Structure 1
Amino acid sequence: MADAIKLMEQKQARFADCRFKLGDPAFGIGEYNKDHIPGAVYFDLERDLSGRVKKHGGRHPLPDPMAVKDKLEEYGISNSTPIIAYDSGDGQYAARFVYILLYLGHKEVYLLNGGYREWRAKGQPAETNIPVYGKSVYSIHLNHEIAASYEEVKEIAGKAREDVILLDSREERRFLGIEEPIDKKAGRIPGALNEVWTHSLEDGKYLEPDQQRDRFRSYDSKKQIIVYCGSGVTAAANFIALKEVGFENVKIYTGSYSDWISYEDNPVECGSE
């Protein structure tokens, strides 16, 4: 998490505004244009932080790294630029940005806890001016250690593995297959356990580390954990929470459940674990 004021005072930190609303693609950029943290630049979940939707890969596949590189360079962000991501206070969209930047190999990327709502509630400044920066040079160093492929998940699904934990981040009713408001088939990837992503937060802020540790107390921090959700977005909230409290071997299956069921022969589980 970021102490944004301290970073602003000590370094040339850049804010990344990630506000978004599923089903209303104009919401985020509209909010940004109304006002934003001074100097912030805008990243759209579907245009900037996701790739083109295909038959496989899920509803929000990983973006083309070169497209993200171009956007970072357009915004004057180099590999040494500290970046602080925020959303409205939902938690998942800023987490998605943080995850994507970590995947690209960026070293100093942070999440503004509480998002824009908390920023304004504390009387911090905002502006309407759209900043323009000189173009930078950015080098990509992909970190494949935090991205789980479909093949990896296929290998462990439904099998009793002592070394890997598969965590489903969706709401319990979707995990149990009771309802599925978005994807074409209800259920979960076989063998998954449920850790609802919203339990990472309270009133729009991520829980303190001791509370997060209590959430994950039943898991061995030395084991590999693969986190998924419906399309790879809300899983990022659990990814952030796990990394924050010392789980080192954590990956996101970015295609997530929407990718899993795009292969018609893949089984799904319903009911209790």
Structure 2
Amino acid sequence: MNVLIDKEWLLKNLHDQNVRIVDCSFSLADPKKGREEYEHNHIPGACYFDLDKDLSGEVSEHGGRHPLPDLKEFIHKLELAGIDKNTIVVSYDQGEGAFAARFWWLLQYLGHEKVYVLDGGFNGWKEGNFPVTSEVPAYKKTTFQSDINYSLIASMEEVKAAAEEQKANVVLIDSREEKRYLGIEEPIDKKAGRIPGALNKPWFEGLNAGYYKPAEIQKQRFSDIHTDNEIIVYCGSGVTAAPNFIALKAAGYEKVKLYLGSFSDWISYQENKIE
């Protein structure tokens, strides 16, 4: 599955009217930072989508810390950005990878297949001394037609069945760092630990300075998992699991789902067990 776009391709197609660039820069530690960085400097022609305000919905009792956005509102924002079914969309962040991957997954979920992630992100772009601007573009409103791909998302009930029944053909992957996976350290969520039966594949091990590692290395990362298995990836709130989703696709895994609510949703149900 071809997910990544390199900066050379984007530079060559920078002024193509059919290409839309989306800046997803964000900081979990400072939610205002991403927009401030965008307003200071971004790739020419890029519009901005905020993780909290655009790529996530209202936080409630269940659904996790970054639940699915209201799809009607999200689609309206895509239309204001001039994105329709024919638009080639390229998302990027500062180089962390997770926020651009979140946007990519959301468009895939809406059935838009012409969406890619800029490999290396904005840091890689600047390292190439490619053009930047502070100019905020305006685009002609379009009509975006969604065709939701329900096969990309896993419900809490599906995850619970996988955790309780320990099915041989369903694999849960915890994308967080090892300390959080083991329950030694939990800096964000109210409870520490993991969903029972989950394997640990930290998401950042699939990248190198913002660039995704080659498919062969991704295959080695997941070599203990059969390609015929159904895989459900999760993290703390469904954001950093998205790069693992992309890495699994690059490694040749077809049946991959994202548990969007992730661990923060799992622990919101008192009856759910923690390992």
Tell me the TM-score range normalised by the shorter chain.
over 0.9
Using the TM superposition, give the Cα deviation of residue 8 of structure 1 relative to its aligned residue in structure 2, in angstroms. Answer: 5.7
Matched, 1:157 2:163: yes
Within 1, Cα distance between the matches of 2:56 and 2:166? 32
Match of 2:26 among 20, 23, 29: 20
1:38 and 1:207 map into 2 onto residues whose CA distance is: 27
Report the TM-score, using the length of structure 1 for normalisation: 0.96
Alpha carbons 1:158, 1:189 under 8 Å: kept:
no
* Correspondence for 1:82 among 81, 88, 91: 88
Q: Percent identity?
A: 52
> In the alignment, which residue of structure 1 is the partner of 2:221?
215
Matches within 5 A, 1:249-260: 249-260=255-266
Distance 1:35 1:179 in 2: 36
Secondary structure of residue in 2 paired with 1:157: helix
**Partner amino acid, structure 2, of 1:2:** I
Give structure 1 stretches of 5+ with no counterpart. Answer: none
Correspondence for 1:53? 59
**Distance in 1 of aligned mates of 2:262 and 2:9:** 36
Q: Distance in 2 between matches of 1:128 and 1:140?
A: 31
- The CA deviation at 1:9 is 3.8
Written as runs of structure 1 = structure 2, the 5 A alignment for 1:56-67 is 56-67=62-73
TM-score computed with the length of structure 2 as normaliser: 0.95
Moved more, 234-243 or 199-208: 199-208
The alignment yields a C-alpha RMSD, in angstroms, of 1.1
Amino acid at match of 1:167: I
* CA drift at 1:200: 0.8
Q: How far apart are the structure 1 equivalents of 2:109 and 2:52?
A: 17
Secondary structure (helix, strand or coil) at the match of 1:139 reads coil
What do residues 25-69 of structure 1 show as CA deviations (whole Å, max 9, x unaligned)?
110000000010010000000100001100000000111111110
- Which amino acid counterpart does residue 235 of structure 2 have in structure 1? C
| 1:188-203 to 2 correspondences below 5 Å | 188-203=194-209
Deviating runs (4+, > 3 A) in structure 1?
7-11
Partners of 2:7 and 2:119 within 8 A in 1 = no
Aligned residue for 1:133?
139
Gaps of 5+ in 2: none
- Cα contact 1:159–1:191 (8 A) shared by 2: no
**Structure 1 residues 197-245: Cα deviation after superposition (integer angstroms, max 9, x where no partner):** 1101112211011111111111111110000000000000100100112
AA in 2 matched with 1:174: R
1:160 positional shift = 2.5
Measured in 2, the distance between the counterparts of 1:67 and 1:24 equals: 24
Structure 2 equivalent of residue 244 of structure 1: 250
